[in-house]
A and B are shown apart, each in its own frame.
Chain A
């Protein structure tokens, strides 16, 4: 019974990684860049929820909505100011280094405003959860909500990409920006839209992450950001279902290895799995092998 509890907790943590990884993978798919500041968007989202909720004496619903809106604006602005001017730069490293710069910038702004001490975050989900089998199996409310939210997000994204014109344009632009332009697609606007979606997802992931692990510091987003990046690579970067699978695998492995092997070693195991998967299948679990047809 306890194994089942750990498995569900792993699934829940994995769902959070998956939501973050979706942002990574969508941005990579279209802009062909790794937005290393993505994890810090989560932290920004958490601080916004924290500030708004305390100002409104605990009304976290408003906090979440404000966080989603502000993170979306932050993502689009970052893309416009920091990344767009470097698109087409001689070296793809330029934008990567800039992303790392944005990451440090956000962390230090948070440090200036909120200080280095850890704030305790009150969960945005007040529901206690449910018990099964006479209380032997207890699932927390935040766990259930996290899993459900991630499923809803995945379905919504799939519908958006496959059923809407904007989603199809996103797919086309991620494959071939020149050909997409010939179709009349405004590629810059499509990339901005992708950043908007990715950043909104980061805010949602932030709300869920800080509800499950209620401590908030300027570095809150850094580690989950890196792990979600690992999840995206594990699943096959650029692939939306891949990000989902990668995130879930990572979350389950992390929780189970913390429980049954060693809590100190769990991160090493997580990154070790990445190394092994990449050695066996360099494109990730669902990554596609690019075939050039002459």
Chain B
């Protein structure tokens, strides 16, 4: 069975990638809100935000990329929920295919879809004046962190998709995730916030991820932030993965 698991995952990933290529609006929709936020913050609020010497779009982009991913992963919960509602999930369950391949197909699709949305957002940011001297290695590091961020959040989306009772419930879980970057260093420096808020902002995962991405784009040393970021992301990934498999077992037994 395990020898088949890879082939099964490939077949099922191909299936849901087809879903995306046939409704590319999901990728566009994922990118539209972050782009609108970026326009709003750069051209409306940005003038009033003091981030030091950096241009505001350079400052803002890492947080916008995380918002893109946080809103994009809701589609994984949505698609998984629809599979469960229709009979196709049961068909897969009654077939001799790798047990977790059904989930991995959705997770890998989420990775492809979200990184595509992220590329679109970066394209718009470049048009808006985003500039970076990041080396190829730094770009790879950025891509790696964004991929890890996507995987970690996607496994949370899998839990939501497996346990939701309604379509709305399946995607509602992502709202707090989309909101999290606002209370971080993504939009304004945390030292402008009142004490308890600043404390929360400085110690929640988004800030370390944002700071790491910003340092990579700025060719600054990433310092401790990258290790804090990696610890958060790997931690969320492991907890999410284990909980998702537990939810899956509950669902199919």
Chain A partners chain B: no
Q: Which residues of A contact B (CB under 8 A)?
A: none
Q: Which residues of B contact A (CB under 8 A)?
A: none
